[in-house]
Amino acid sequence: MSVSNYSRSSAGRPRRLLSGLVALSVLGGMGVGACSWSRYDDLQDNAPVLLLKKPEKLKNGFGISLAFASSDAGSRVLVVGAPYLSRGAAFTVVGNQDAKVDASDTGFCDAGADSNLCYMANQVAGIGLARAPEGASGTILDLCFVMGVGQAANDAGLLVRCLDQTEYALGVPTGVFNALVNPVLQTGEGQPLFLAADKDSQASVIAGAPGQTPPLAWFYAPDSMAPIELLPSANDPSYGSAVASLRVPDGRVLAVGAPEENHVYLFHWKTGETEARLVGCLGGPENFGRALASGRVNAGDETDELVVADAVNVHVFDGSKLAGLPAVATPSCSLASLPEATLLASFGCGSDASVTGCEQSDFGAALEVADLDADGDGEVIVGAPRMTVREQNSAGAVLVYDAEGERPFLLSDVLFLSSAEEGDRLGSSLAVGRTGGQEFVIAGAPGNEKTAMMFCS
C-alpha cells in the first residue's frame, strides 16, 4: 500500500496521513515511547488498525461493551451491543497485528431455540483460563467470557461461554440470586449489571448490580467458581455502577464505584481466604467513580494501579498503597486519610487542531491501562466519546496519558477515526488486547456500530 500524502500535526511533527480507516494524532511532538502508528486506506492483513465487521445477526448495537481474553490457545475479543437485548460476537487475534475482521463465534446470548437463556450485561468480562464445572474440582477452559445473567445446565447465575463453545453458569450469592438473577430469568426485564476482570490469564472477576437494596457486588477469586460478597458500609444506591480488580502481591484489591454518591469502596482479599475485608472508601468530586480500570502504571512492581474517573478528570492511585490499608468497619469516604503519595496523577481532557470540544467530550466515559510501548509501565487510556473530530460532532476520540514523571498530566497521544462520522462516539467502550508481546487498544464507537483495533508498531 502506498502513502497518499504527508501532513504535520499542530506541533509541527511530521506524520503520515492516509484517507482510510483510522488516524492517530501525536501531540506536543511526543508519542508513546517508540510507538509508531500508521493509517491505511482499507483492511488488509497485518494492518495496524482494523475495523471489525458487525455480524448480520447482531441487531441491537455493536461496540457498546468490549472484553478481551488471552491464553496459550490464542486471543479473542468479545463485542456486544445493548444490555439485555443484544447478542455478542467474538473475533480472533492470531498474531501480532493480525486479526480476523469477521466474527469467529456469534453464539453469545444467541437466543436460539437450543440456546441457554441469557441476558447480556451492561459490561462484559474476559478470562484467559477459566475454571468450569466438571467432576469434583472442575476443569480449565480457554478463552472464556462472562456475558451476563443466564441459565445453563449446571446452574443459574452469570453465564460464561468459552472457546470450545462450552457454556456454564457461575453461581452467585443468595442475595444476588433473589434480587437479580431469578427476577431477570422469570420476567426477562433488564437490571443493570457491570462485570470486569483483571489482566491475569486466570483472572479474578468482579460484578456489581447497582440500584439494589441492600447493595450488591461480589467477585470470584482467580481459578475459582465460588462467589465472595463485597458489602459496603452504607446503602449507596449506585453502588456497583463500576467495578475493578487490582492484582497485588498477596491477592486482590477490589474497587466498587458508587458515582451518585462520589464514592469508591475498596476491599482487600488475600490468597486462600474466603472473604474480602473492607479497607477504605475514596471520595471525590461530582460523579467520582463513574468509571474504573486497573493495570500496572508504575514500572518495577507487581501491583496494579487503580484509575478512577469523575465528571471532569481522571485520577490514578498507587495500588501498593491501597493494598496496605488496614481493615475498617465504617470508613470515611475521602482522600484525606490516604497514605502520602497514594494519588499518583490527576488530569483532564486535552485536544489539538483535529480533535476539539473538551467541554462536552464525556472525558472518562471509559478507562483502560495498556503498555503500548512495551517499556514495562502502562499508559492510561481514556475514552472521550463526545469529542468533535474534524468538525464531526460526537465522533469521539481515545486519549493516551503516560501518567508518570514530573508532568504526569500531559497528554501523549490521541486516537480517532480518519473516516469519523457524526455520532460515532468512539471511546464509549475500551479494552486492551495482548498478542505477540504487544498490547493494543480496542475501542467501541457504538453510535454508528463500529469497533476498532488499534495496534502500535
Mean pLDDT of 284-301: 94
CA 123 – CA 241 distance, rounded (Å): 10
Whether the pLDDT of residue 20 is over 90: the answer is: no
pTM for this structure?
0.91
What is the model's pLDDT at position 98? 59
Helices (H) and strands (E) in the chain, counts: 3, 34
Q: What is the DSSP letter of 323?
A: H
Domain extents for the chain? 1-58+358-457
What is the rounded distance in angstroms from the CA atom of residue 246 to the CA atom of residue 95? 27
Q: How confident is the model at residue 44 (pLDDT cuts 50, 70, 90)?
A: very low
Neighbouring residues of 262: CB distance < 8 A, sequence distance ≥ 6: 283, 284, 285, 286, 287, 288, 289, 310, 333
**Residue 94 scores a pLDDT above 90:** no
On the question of pLDDT at 24 being above 70, the answer is no
pLDDT tens digits along 123-144: 999 999 999 999 888 999 999 9
Indicate if the pLDDT at residue 21 is higher than 60: no
pLDDT tens digits, 307-353: 999 999 999 999 999 999 999 999 999 999 899 999 999 999 998 88
The better pLDDT of the pair 128, 418 is held by: 128
Mean pLDDT, the chain, integer: 88
At residue 386's C-alpha, the angle toward residues 384 and 392, to 5°, is 120
User: Is residue 34 very low, low, confident or very high in pLDDT (cuts 50, 70, 90)?
Assistant: very low
Residues 6+ apart with CB under 8 A from 289: 241, 242, 257, 258, 259, 262, 263, 264, 282, 308, 309, 310
The H or E element that residue 243 is part of is strand 242-248
Q: Model confidence over 237-280: pLDDT tens digits?
A: 999 999 999 999 999 999 999 999 999 999 999 999 999 999 99
| Cα within 13 Å of Cα(402), Cβ side | 21
Q: Is the pLDDT of residue 31 over 70?
A: no
